[in-house]
Each structure stands twice: as C-alpha cells, then as structure tokens.
Structure 1
Amino acid sequence: MPNNTLTAVFFTILCCFSLIAQNDDTKKSEQKVIQETGETKLIAADSISKVRKPIDPLAPSKAAFYSALLPGLGQAYNKKYWKIPIVWGAIGTGIYFYTNNNKEYHRYRDAYKRRLAGFEDDEFYFDGNGNKLTQPRVTTEGLERGQKFYRRNKEISLLVTLGLYALNIIDANVDAHLMQYNVDKNLSLAPHYKIDEFDASTSLGLTLNFKF
C-alpha cells in the first residue's frame, strides 16, 4: 500500500513538471513567433496595458507657428476646430473697430485741415440733402476733439487686436502642451484632510500616488 501511494505521488509530480515545462515551451514558441512576425504583444496580469503615443516636443512650437502664420490654424493643428470661429470672430471684431475709428479720424482730420485753410466746403457744412448751412454742424473745436477721440479709440482697437492675435498664438501653444500632459490615474497628486476621532485634531496634506 505505501508503495502504491509513493508511486501515485511520483507520477503526480512528474505530471506537474510536464505541464510546467509544456507551458514554458508554449510561451517560448509564442515569443519566437512574435519576434519573427515583428508584432508587439503586451501581457498584463490584472489590467490592460495601454500604448501611449510618443510625446512630440515640437508640437507646441508648431502650433504656435501655425497660429502666427494664420490665426486659427494652430487650433486646427490641435484638432480644436470649435475654437476657430471664436478666434476669427475676436480678431475680426478688433479689425472692424480699428477700421471704423480710423475712417472717422480721417473724416474729422480732413475737415479740420480745410477749416484751417479758410475753406467752408467740408462735409459738416452741409445737411443730409446736400444743402449748404450757415453754421457748420460741427465746430472747429469739435473737429479737434473728434480727432483726439477717434485717434485714441483707433490706438486702443489696434492694441486689443494685437493682444487677441497674441492670445491666439498662446492658446494654440498651451493646448498643444496640455494634449501631451500625463493625466494617468496611476500618477496623481491629491490633497487629503483627516480628522482624528480621539483628540478631535485635524491634519491637511498632499498625497502622491504612483502605481507601477
């Protein structure tokens, strides 16, 4: 009877080693096939491994360059297409106000120059129907004030437009940076707040989690 037990145990051990060796041979053959075919296989014990796209350090510079070349082009490079109408609308509005203020400034300046030269034929000496008025609709002092007003508005409009243009470049650059930012759940930094039930004291701090 003991001999039969020992024989059974011996055969059981042999079967186990045979299965283990068979499993190792299978893995080696799989690895060999994978190497020969040039494929890549990721094996995770209790999770699925995700292959990340390689980080392109030149992407932010490219996005900024494209936006500098043509506003909205950097947003298209970042695939943020919904931002393109906003960029065009903002810069277009700035250009509209600059053009309008520049036009009004030249109107008042030209009329002011005619007044200084002694002429009374500028547009403010006529009504809406083209009839000559005895007194101009805008006085000479009013023309001078109008020039100052529209020149200041023109300069402000230009500064705002240039600011929106620069903001369009910065937005494209920052977006390209954030698109490659690591937001993996395996790497996180979060605040924690704990209350000690024994002495009613509290503690506040930061917790850095890194999972392999």
Structure 2
Amino acid sequence: MKGLLIGVLLVCTCPLFGQQIDSIPAAPQEKVRMVFMDSVRKERKNRLPVPKKALLYSFALPGSGQVYNGHWWKAPFAVGAIGTMVYFVTYSSDLYKRFQSALEDELLKKPHEFTKFNLGVTGLRNRRDFYDKNRQLSYVGVFAAYGLVAVEAFVDAHLQNFDMSEDLSFKLKPTFQSDPRTGFGGPGIGIVVFVK
C-alpha cells in the first residue's frame, strides 16, 4: 500500500500542461476604429473602462454605462427593461384610479363605468386592491431594473480588465498538509497553476 502511494506521488510530480505552445506566431492585432456621424475617423484608444465611472454613468442615465464600456448594443435593452417597468406602473395606476372612483360612486349609489358588469362593492374593492398591489410591485420592479442595469455596467467594466491568457498550465506536486483542528498532518497533492 505504501509502495502504491509513493508511486502515485512520484508520477504526479511530473508537470502537466493544459495546452501546447503554438509554434505559429499570432498575427498582429488591428486597432479598433470607430466612425462617427460627421465622417471623421478617430482611433479608439486601447483603454480599459473604469468600473466606478461605468456605475455612475449608468445611474445618471440608464444605458450610458453600457455605452461607456463600449457595448452600445446593450443600451436599448437597459432602457427597454426600465421602460417596461414604467409602463406597468402607469397601467396599474390608471386601473387603480378607475376602480377607486368606481368604488366611491358605487358606495354613493351612482352609476359608473363598471356598472354594466354588476361587480358590487366587494368586486370593485378586490379589483382596486389587486391593481394597487400590482402598482406597488411595479415600483419595486423599476428600482430593481434600474439597479440591475447599473450593476451590469459595473461588472462588465470589471470583466474587461480580466486577463485571459492563452497559455494555461498546471502542475501537481506532493505537499504536506496539516489539519488545523487536530494539529496532525499528512501527505497530500497540491495543484499549482501557471499563467504566462
């Protein structure tokens, strides 16, 4: 048993590589160019966005954080998400006000726009409360969408700073590990990751 363990540890000490080194050199990368409306061509600097600026821009004007990060195609989705929630707020508020006035008229025994449905006081009150609840949830949705758009711009700016190297390799090597609870230790296998 000990011989098998020693054999496994000796085999695991040899380096393992996840990828082979490419013998063909990479082609030089072209600079990204942006064309503006006045047909003046300006080179986009190889800059990385600052996450705090992206967050502040997105809070100031929804979608501007995405444009700042260079992902302009995300801006309509950001504005659309907030706009949809604002639509639900106005829709629910309108129906809440209509059922509220109909309920007041029903209590005063006056005709109202829902008289032909014969809902009664209980039916009008239930529908009014339903649309009031939807209105409140829609307000929460507006703030949640607003916050998610800002957080997405912040995270996107952070991920653009993330280094994605093409050469990832790792090596297994024997280690001595100790258990902090018992104070005793034993042999183990460690993984060392090399990023070039």
Q: TM-score, normalised by structure 2?
A: 0.62
Match of 1:185 among 166, 177, 182: 166
1:57-114 C-alpha deviation (Å, 9 max, x unpaired): xx11110111101110000000111111211221111111111011101111111122
Larger CA Rg, structure 1 vs 2: 1
Aligned to 1:175: 156
**Paired residue type of 1:165:** Y
Matched residue SS, 1:209: strand
Question: Which is richer in helix?
Answer: 1
- Distance change >3 Å, CA 137–CA 176, structure 1 → 2: same
Is the counterpart of residue 107 in structure 1 residue 92 in structure 2?
Answer: no
**Native 8 Å contact 2:82 2:142 kept in 1:** yes
Unaligned runs of 5+ in 1: 1-46, 128-135, 193-202
Question: Which is richer in strand?
Answer: 2
Considering Cα pairs closer than 8 Å and 6+ residues apart, tell me whether 1 or 2 has the greater RCO: 2
Unaligned runs of 5+ in 2: 1-24, 30-45, 173-187
**Paired residue type of 2:110:** E
Alpha-carbon RMSD across the aligned residues, in angstroms, is: 3.1
Tell me how many residue pairs correspond in the alignment.
142
**Native 8 Å contact 1:189 1:206 kept in 2:** no
Matches within 5 A, 1:1-212: 59-116=50-107, 118-125=108-115, 127=116, 137-185=118-166, 188=168, 206-211=191-196
Q: TM-score, normalised by structure 1?
A: 0.58
Distance in 2 of aligned mates of 1:161 and 1:145: 24
1:152-208 C-alpha deviation (Å, 9 max, x unpaired): 11111111221111000000001111111222335x47698xxxxxxxxxx986441
Name segments (4+ residues, structure 1) moved above 4 Å. Answer: 47-50, 53-56, 188-192
**Native 8 Å contact 1:67 1:169 kept in 2:** yes
